[in-house]
Amino acid sequence: MAPKAPRKPFWWIGIAAVLAGLAIAADVGWFFYHSQQTGDSLLSAENAAIAAAGRISRFDPVVPTAVCPPFINGGSQAQGVVSASEIGMAAPVLAGDGDSQINVAVGHADGSSWPGQPGTTLFAAHDVTYFSHINQLAVHSEIDFVTPCQTFTYQVTGHQVVQKGSPVYSPSTESLLVLETCYPTNALFLTDQRYLVTAQLVSVRLNDKALPAVASPPEPNLPIPAALSAEGLTLATNDLPLGTLSLAGTPSTSWEQTMAPYDSEGDVLSEYFGALRSAEQGQGAWWVAMSPTVPITTTAPLRGATITEYTARVNPSLSVAGDTLTGAELDSVVRVSGGTAPGLYNLQVSFNVAFGQLFVSQWSMTRQ
């Protein structure tokens, strides 16, 4: 009779499985602990900044920039608080949507607009943290984004499920908000679908006081030929990595607190896109209509070529006197492909307002 085979030691497989389970549980537990502790700290700090700004604004009509800082695309300080009372949500918002941001807060997607600006603001968060119940937001319910000095109120317009990486619509004249999280919204695993809540900006107000009604002067006309305008001269149809909008000159406080700066920025960018298309296509008549004092030869590297990359963000600067736009500037480093002189160029463009129209007053391209 053959000897019995020794019994295989299956017991160690069970122990290994138990240890692996404990390790996973510890990792998940640490994630939730770290997320809540850090998130609560960020939220407390931003709520304190909002409260402090409110106390100052009650007594001082001109609040210092340090109290009402502009949005920045980076850093570890919260840019505001996004809240929806209907689902009991209140979360700090950090610039950026990588793991270091959304593991502890709501992240603002790089390249998307900031609240109040034309285009779409995209906020992302984990479905198991701050955005676990966004699927319960009813159409017409409100979402607030509160900064130390302003509150942006959005109204929910719809919900949808899309594939990961799907493009998000970004208009050139409206200000939209999209909340994004994994789908299903209770998934404890990585998924290839995303749940989106869309909302439209309905009001902007100063905290602790009503936003003053301002009768802004009409925006300058854009001398863009109809055939050129039909090619699409907005951010929705042109790829441009926007940075920070700044104001120069002597803008009035009341003008700054409306949508006028962003409307003017949109006009400047449309004029820029129009001039760029004219240069690339060698359309001298179009160019002269928008830039009568600048020879089209200044755009020689663009003849028969295209700008295929902006290696630096474009930071428009508006010159304003009171409530009136008087000029603007923008600059970047661009990569020109095709034509007779491809390569990297320092691009500088200036605009001025004359006779109620916005013209290109300088176009400079210097090879790097």
Are 343 and 365 in contact by the 8 Å Cβ rule? The answer is: no
Dump pLDDT digits (tens) for 152-165: 999 999 999 999 88
Task: Tell me: do 74 and 192 sit in the same domain.
Answer: yes
Q: Which domain holds residue 104?
A: 27-206
pLDDT at position 27 is 47
pLDDT at position 65 is 47
Is it the case that residue 272 has pLDDT exceeding 60? yes
Q: What's the domain count of the chain?
A: 2
Are 334 and 345 in contact by the 8 Å Cβ rule? The answer is: yes
Euclidean distance between CA atoms 149 and 25, whole angstroms: 42
Tell me which of 143 and 253 has the higher pLDDT: 143
> Using alpha carbons only, what angle is made at residue 198 by residues 194 and 201, rounded to the nearest 5 degrees?
150
DSSP secondary structure of 194-212: EEEEEEEEEEEEETTSPPP
Task: Tell me: do 186 and 240 sit in the same domain.
Answer: no
Check which CATH number belongs to the domain holding 159 and give it: 2.40.260.10
Task: Tell me: do 267 and 172 sit in the same domain.
Answer: no
Task: Tell me: do 63 and 165 sit in the same domain.
Answer: yes
Euclidean distance between CA atoms 196 and 178, whole angstroms: 6
- Lowest model confidence (mean pLDDT) among 14-18, 57-61, 279-283: 57-61
Dump pLDDT digits (tens) for 206-262: 776 433 333 445 668 888 999 999 999 988 788 888 888 899 999 888 777 777 888
What average pLDDT does range 266-289 have in this prediction?
93
What average pLDDT does range 45-61 have in this prediction?
61
Residue 272 CB contacts under 8 Å (≥ 6 apart), including other chains: 330, 349, 351, 360
Is it the case that residue 8 has pLDDT exceeding 80? no
pLDDT at position 216 is 47
Going by the DSSP 8-state scheme, the letter that residue 134 receives in this structure is: G
Check which CATH number belongs to the domain holding 231 and give it: 3.10.450
Task: Tell me: do 99 and 33 sit in the same domain.
Answer: yes
- Lowest model confidence (mean pLDDT) among 141-150, 206-215, 261-270: 206-215
Is it the case that residue 355 has pLDDT exceeding 80? no
Dump pLDDT digits (tens) for 317-326: 999 988 889 9
Q: Pick from 275, 331, 269, 335: which is nearest to 299 by CA?
A: 275
Task: Tell me: do 159 and 54 sit in the same domain.
Answer: yes
The pTM (predicted TM-score) of the whole model is: 0.50
Dump pLDDT digits (tens) for 154-201: 999 999 999 988 888 888 778 899 999 988 877 666 788 999 999 999
What average pLDDT does range 140-155 have in this prediction?
91
Residue 221 in domain = no
What average pLDDT does range 119-148 have in this prediction?
90
Are 318 and 271 in contact by the 8 Å Cβ rule? The answer is: no
Is it the case that residue 329 has pLDDT exceeding 70? yes
Look up residue 133 and give its two tokens: 């119940």
Task: Tell me: do 104 and 32 sit in the same domain.
Answer: yes
Q: How confident is the model at residue 36 (pLDDT cuts 50, 70, 90)?
A: low
Q: Pick from 319, 362, 347, 360: which is nearest to 223 by CA?
A: 360
